[in-house]
Chain A
């Protein structure tokens, strides 16, 4: 009984995570300019990774595998904002300013 409940929870988490990862990929293709695409990437890096890893944790039970999964999640959550920030700052420095962005969004809509 308990086991079935846990495995259904894990399936729900995995499926929601997969759906979010597809959502993000479509956003990455759909959004008009670099900065908005970056927001689409944010969807994947935070909640999508969290849901999929938690789904796997529920399947693994309490073991060394669970610990490794949690470490993977921790690394992803600590490194992804730093990488995103470095990327945004580099783009800003390279002159990806407000003007280009407004042009891009008006030409695509």
Chain B
């Protein structure tokens, strides 16, 4: 029961976050919204795993947490330099 309430609260929060991602206005607002949306998904996956008694969802949540982090960095790097691979002589 409480788990279901938590899951619904997370879904509502995700919807509001998505609204911010759609509203923008800048690209950074959108990236911020998508990044926090990812954090919410990780939490939702965990709660959902408990709700359906299937702990396998935790593995997906674990992988999602890492991919979310790396994708945020990759997108940021892409918008900063226009390319994914940095020139080697940066240091």
Contacts and interface: CB of A to CB of B under 8 A. Distances in A.
A contacts B directly in the complex (CB < 8 Å)?
yes
A93 B59 contact: no
Chain B: interface size category:
35 or more
Contacts of B61: 72
Interface string A52-75: 110110011000010011011001
Contacts of A72: 42, 46, 58, 61-62, 65
A28 B16 CA distance: 8
Q: DSSP majority for the B interface?
A: helix
Contacts, number: 131
A59 B46 contact: no
A56 B42 CA distance: 13
Contacts of A68: 55, 58-59, 62
